[in-house]
Amino acid sequence: MQNVERLLVSCARPSGSGATRKMIGFKSRSSFKRCARELSKRGLGPVKLIRGGFILCCNLSRSEASRFNQLLHHPDIRFVEPDFKIRAHARPAPFGKAEASDAAIKRGKRTRPFLRRGRIGPLPLRGRAHESAEGTTWNVSRVQAPKVWKRTKGDGVPVAIIDTGIAPHPDLHIAGGVNTIGGRSYTDDNGHGTHVAGIAAALGTNGMIPGVAPKVKLFAVKALDAAGEGYISSIIDGIDWCIRNGMKVINMSFGLSGATSSALRQSIQRARRKGIVVIASAGNGGIFSGGIDEPASFPETIAVAASTIQNQIASFSSRGKGIDVAAPGTAIKSTWPGGGYKTLSGTSMASPHVAGGAALLLAINPKLRPYQISRKLRNTALKLSGFSSRSQGAGLIRLARAAKVSRSGSGAARRRRSK
C-alpha cells in the first residue's frame, strides 16, 4: 500500500483552490509528523496542526476518487472529516416573557407564570428586575451561588472560556489565554465571550456585578471570530491548549447542528480523561429542534438548557435526549466590551452558570471527577413543573444543595447517556 504522506499530498491542494477544508486524524505521532513535514515542504499547508490529537487540517480534493478513498481507508488514518463551522448560542429575547409548558406550546397555547408552594417562584418584573435581594443579578441568586460563597468563591480553580475571546473589563480578571484562529490576541471582538465570562466569573468588586464563581482563574480561548463563528479544528486546538495548561473546567457556549464530528468528540473525551469538566450549551433550536447540538449531545459533556425568571424552560431552548440540567438563560445581564454591561438571552448564557458552579464544587473538593460533578448537579437539581426531561434534564441547578455533598468524591459513575 502507498505510504500515507504520498496519498495525502496527492489529494491536498493549496488554499483558494476550491478544495474542501478537512481534518485528518492519525493513529500515530510518527505518521502525523511525516505528513506535516511533507505538506509543508510542498507548500500545501497544513492550515492547522494539532499536536495533542495528531490532527492536521488542510484542503483536500476528491477529484481523484481512488486516491481519496485509499486515504480514507489507510491503516495510519483514524478519520477524515469536514472542518465544519460552529456558531455561538446567543440571541436577543424580551425580558420577563412568560413561557409555556411543552404541552401548551404543542397545542399552540401559552400559560401564565406559576408560583407553587415549596418551589422557587417568579421574581417581580417591575423596577430593577435584574437585581435580587442579595445584591446579585436574579440569575446568580437563582442558582444559589451566594449561599456557597460563605465557603468558597471558586478560589484558584482554572476555568477556560472557549469562545470569541474575552475583552478587558474592570469586573473581570483574565489570568491568560490563547488565540487559535490565527492571531496573537485573545481579546474579544464580538462580545459573546466577554458576556459568557462575566456570568461564570465576574469579580463583583466596587459595586459591580458578581458572576457565579468570582475568584476562579479565568482563561480566554479565542476560537470564534468577530461573527461568533469558527472552525471545529480551532475548537479542538483550544481544547488541546486547555489540556496542556491544566484547566479544570471548560465552557463551550456554541454548537454544531445538522452534522456530526467524531474529531470533536474524541478531543472532548481526551479532556475528560484528564479530569476536565466540560460544559456545553444545548442550542437555541426550540421545542421542535429535533435534538440538541454538538458538543452538548456528547455524553462526555454536561449539557445545559435555558430557564427563565419564572422557572420555566425558554421557548428557544433546544429539546432532545441528552440534556443534563437547566440554568438561567433569558435576559441575563453581564459584562460587555468597553467596560459596560449588556443583557442577552440564549443557552450560551445558561452554560456558564454551570461552569461556575462546577468550579465552586471543585474548590470545595479538588478530587472530584467530572462524572461526580455531573451527578451532584443532577441529583440536587429542581425539577421544573410542566417540562419534560427532554427540555430540562434533571432540572434547575441548585449549587448550595450540591455543595453540601461535594466533600464526598466516592460513588459509581452514572450511566452513560446515548445521543
Active site residues: 163, 192, 348
Report the DSSP beta bridge partners of residue 340. Answer: 336
Q: Rounded to whole angstroms, how far apart are CA atoms 101 and 377?
A: 23
Q: Rounded to whole angstroms, how far apart are CA atoms 58 and 77?
A: 14
Contact criterion met (CB below 8 Å) for 279 and 304:
yes
Q: Return the closest-CA partner of residue 258 out of 14, 87, 34.
A: 87
Determine which helix (DSSP H) or strand (DSSP E) holds 21, and give its type and residue range.
strand 20-26
Q: Which H, E and C letters describe 131-191, residue by residue?
A: ECCCCCEHHHHHCCHHHHCCCCCCCCCEEEEEECCCCCCCCCCEEEEEECCCCCCCCCCCC
For residue 193, what are the contacts with CB-CB under 8 A and spacing of at least 6?
161, 163, 164, 165, 166, 167, 220, 222, 224
Contact criterion met (CB below 8 Å) for 3 and 37:
no
Q: How many CB atoms lie within 10 A of CB 56?
A: 23
- Exposed, middle or buried by CB within 10 Å (0-12, 13-18, 19+), for 264? buried
Q: Rounded to whole angstroms, how far apart are CA atoms 89 and 49?
A: 27
